[in-house]
Amino acid sequence: MSFIQSMDQIFITLQHWIAGFFPLWLQPAVMAILAVVAILGAFPAIFAVTTVLERKGLGRMQNRLGPNRVGPLGILQPVADGIKSLTKEDIVPFTADGLVHFLAPLVLVTAVFLGFAVLPVGRNMVLVNMDAGLFFFFAIGASVELSIFMAGWSSRNKYSLLGAMRAIAQMISYEVPLLLSSVVAVMITGSLSTTKIVEAQGGFTGIFPHWYVFTPWGFAGFILFVIAALAETNRSPFDLPEGESELVAGYFTEYSGFKFALFFLGEYLGMLSIAGFGITLFLGGWGAPFSFLGFIPSWLWFFLKLFAAISFFIWLRGTLPRLRQDQLMNFAWKFMLPMALLNLVVAGAWRFLGEGWQRWIICSVVLLAAYFLLGRTLMRHQKLGPRSYRYAE
């Protein structure tokens, strides 16, 4: 095995080496446990780094310092936040359903961690290589809505319940275009396996890769996926559930201490999970962006792309203002859903039109025409314009 191949498979080699110390019949279980431990260690560590980068980045955008007191340049701020969350008092309302109130953040974090099981983070580096990986990811993701409803309902607080219903309405509205935008990759690949979707994008034409994002239907699907992912993870400009903290705190009004920290952890892990899934579907997964860079380990490419996605999310948070609730829902049902459905038709046409420049022109023209028509219709119905302010008499 060459040095390049050994670096690419270094974690797989380490996994087999550790498992070799155990009896043969126990080795499969040990290897599975090691893979789970790696996921449980790596992504929460990325979450900790992300919180520092986000607060530092937003501070830079807003001409302030951000965290700078705990550790060199404030890099130990996540440690301080964790200690604070562990030591804060856990207050549960007297009339709350104690069991459901306790289980809600655990269900959220568990569901998010299960999504990483089918995410290929490198060549031969996926916990469960199942044929229906994409179906599993979205099925397990539906548990997030359940946990949010559990949190709002169990608190016995009308503000919490209303905040939960608003958050669920947003997440369900955008989960439909999120799923439909992913189907185009399945149609072209002919498989629900996340590993096979990555492998289908593994070729090169010259030095350029065969990533799905470089096709008309793939580009449209990627943009739709990113927008829906922002809404699913409550990121700006779709962070209305977060914005309720200006009044109360939405569905986690009655949460404090470590339970609140689990909601915070689940939200960021969800962002990492769905960003990694978008990389898998449209950006070649762990594949190199140019043929001459194939010597770089596959797992490093995946995490570099993940870092770029996180930086993009932070940039949007510091740039875009928050949408109103009516704008958010209208955009989901009057623009996102029709575009996602049309993109399915375009992907089918791309598949059966055969090779040649004609399919590029046909698919691009159809998508651009739909974009302008739906956009103009949405703007006309929204009646956007200067706001008028009226005072009570």
C-beta separation of 211 from 282 below 8 A = yes
Dig out the tokens for 295 from the structure.
């010597």
Decide if 393 is inside a domain.
no
pTM of the predicted protein model: 0.93
C-beta separation of 173 from 332 below 8 A = yes
Beta partners for 204? 209
C-beta separation of 341 from 181 below 8 A = no
Q: What sign does the dihedral 240-244-250-252 (CA atoms) show?
A: positive
Decide if 10 is inside a domain.
no
Side-chain half-sphere exposure of 3, counting CA atoms within 13 A: 0
Return d(Cα 365, Cα 361) in angstroms, integer.
6
Decide if 9 is inside a domain.
no
Considering its fold, how many domains does the chain have in total?
1
Decide if 178 is inside a domain.
yes
Decide if 359 is inside a domain.
yes
Decide if 36 is inside a domain.
no
Decide if 211 is inside a domain.
yes
Name 93's Cβ contacts closer than 8 Å, sequence gap at least 6: 101, 155, 156, 157, 254
Domain range holding 130?
Answer: 78-380
Dig out the tokens for 60 from the structure.
């830079």
Query: pLDDT tens digits for the chain (393 residues)?
Result: 566 778 889 999 999 999 999 999 999 999 999 999 999 999 999 999 999 999 999 999 988 888 888 888 888 999 998 899 888 888 888 888 989 999 999 999 999 999 999 999 999 899 999 899 999 999 998 888 899 999 989 988 888 888 888 888 889 999 999 999 999 999 999 999 999 999 999 889 889 999 999 999 999 999 999 999 999 888 888 887 766 555 556 778 888 888 989 988 998 999 999 999 999 999 999 999 999 998 899 999 999 999 999 999 999 998 888 888 888 888 999 999 999 999 999 999 998 887 888 899 999 999 999 999 998 888 776 655 555 666 665
Dig out the tokens for 266 from the structure.
């689940």
Beta partners for 209? 204
Decide if 121 is inside a domain.
yes
